Amino acid sequence: MTSGRSSKIAVIGSGLMGSALARAFAAVGHEVAVWNRTPSKAQAVGGGTLAFEELREAITGRDLVVVSLSNYAAFSEVFSSKDVVAALAGTTLVQLTSGSPADARNALEWATAHGVDYLDAAILAYPAFVATDYATVFYAGSRAVFDRHLGTLQAVAKNSVYVDEKIGSAATLDCAILEAYYGGSLAVLHAAAMCKAEGLDPKAFFAQKNSFLGLISVTADAAQDMVARDDFTGEQCSLNTHVAAIEHIVRLSQDARISTRFPRELLENYRRAVDAGLGAQELPAVFRTLGKD
């Protein structure tokens, strides 16, 4: 089942991502069966894949069963019948459905109870990036099972990263990266809205992309070190000074009559750290007040 050898793979779910996964496996010569709740979408995958109407038939005798559904509730529903579960005997199930670490733990419990090898995975890519150098997939679970299938799984992403044996670790890393992505993206969009509301062409802000991404990068490096040492003292800029800067952002948003939710939420988080007595420390000291609500 390593690279260079053709595997029998079933891809369950022919949504946007599932279709891209199925085509990626087929493109490197694997024999790919696809199944989808709405059969027409499975038939539309094409690219040399075989569409099955019966789930049991699609998964029988497969080396790998790759699941890409909306959520784990859909996964539980799809794999609920006894004959479907029986057809998984001898295969490895790779869960590429996004979820939480608790979802992953429940799925492993289910797989173990049914004697199925299970890897929990999280894909960091849009479907168009599947099988390109821009795709990353994180895997959690048995290292031996991962190593056995790595060559095959690399059809989806050369950058297939084994995170940890803890089954929730891929979902944890995915959630962490997505938080940075969604939070960062919202900040960027709010910043553009501030510019527009103040009559400054947002292009001027976007042109500074390297400046603000560079600042975030430097802060992430400093935070990594400070969190590891549990020491947030420094000589660069105190939290008190940062809080004053965030107050300006709230003030601008109020004056320009655009949403203040995001900067107020920022301010609340940073002020909480100051209220906890951390005002003289560096920005990453906020980490200390995020451990509990």
Residue 36 or 92 having the CB closest to ligand NAP: 36
Per DSSP bridges, beta strands 136-141 and 117-124 are antiparallel
Q: Which is nearer to ligand NAP, 181 or 206 (CB)?
A: 181
Among residues 108 and 125, whose Cβ is nearest to ligand NAP?
125
Residue 246 CA, chain-centre distance (Å), reads 29
Listed ranges 10-18, 194-202, 217-225, 260-268: which one lies at the site for ligand NAP (CB under 6 A): 10-18
* Cβ nearer to ligand NAP, comparing 82 with 292: 82
* Smallest gap from residue 278 Cβ to ligand NAP (A): 36
Residue with tokens 């559904």: 69
Q: Closest CB to ligand NAP among 38 and 236? A: 38
Q: Which of 1, 8, 15, 267 binds ligand NAP (CB under 6 A)?
A: 15
| C-beta neighbour count of 271 within 10 angstroms | 17
Q: Is 78 in the site for ligand NAP (CB under 6 A)?
A: yes
Amino acid sitting at position 64: L
Residue numbers 41-60 binding ligand NAP by CB under 6 A: 41
Stretch 17-46: interaction string toward ligand NAP, x if CB under 6 A? xx-----------------xxx--x-----
Segment contacting ligand NAP by CB under 6 A, of 85-93, 122-130, 154-162, 216-224: 122-130
Tell which residue, 213, 211, 212, 191, has the closest CA to residue 200.
Answer: 191
Please report, as a single letter, which amino acid is at residue 122.
A
Selected range binding ligand NAP among 52-60, 71-79, 142-150, 187-195, rule: CB under 6 A: 71-79
Helix/strand/coil for 222:
helix
# residues near ligand NAP by CB under 6 A: 21
Cβ neighbours, 10 Å, residue 179 = 10
Question: Out of 7, 49, 97, 136, which residue is the one contacting ligand NAP (CB under 6 A)?
Answer: 97
- CA gyration radius for the chain? 23
Can you tell me the distance from the alpha carbon of 201 to that of 144, in angstroms, rounded to the nearest whole number?
A: 54
Q: Which residues share a beta bridge with 32?
A: 9
Site string for ligand NAP, 127-166 (x = CB under 6 A): x---------------------------------------
Measure the CA angle with vertex 189, ends 186 and 191; round to 5°.
Answer: 105
Number of Cβ atoms within 10 Å of the Cβ of 263: 23
Contact residue for ligand NAP among 49, 68, 253, 281 (CB under 6 A)? 68
Closest to ligand NAP by CB, 68 or 238: 68
For tokens 């929730």, what's the residue? Answer: 168
Least distance to ligand NAP, CB of residue 14, Å: 5
Contacts of 239 by beta carbon, 8 Å cutoff, 6+ apart: 270, 273, 274, 278, 279, 280, 281, 282, 283, 285, 286
| Beta strand extents in the chain (DSSP E only) | 8-12, 31-35, 50-52, 64-67, 92-95, 117-124, 136-141, 159-164
Contact in structure between 282 and 236 (CB atoms under 8 Å): yes
Report the alpha-carbon distance of residue 199 to residue 28 in Å, rounded. Answer: 52
Smallest separation (angstroms) from ligand NAP to the CB of 38: 3
Nearer to ligand NAP among residue 97 and residue 152 (C-beta)? 97
Instruction: Give the footprint of ligand NAP on this chain (CB under 6 A).
Output: 13-18, 36-38, 41, 68-70, 74, 77-78, 97-98, 123, 126-127
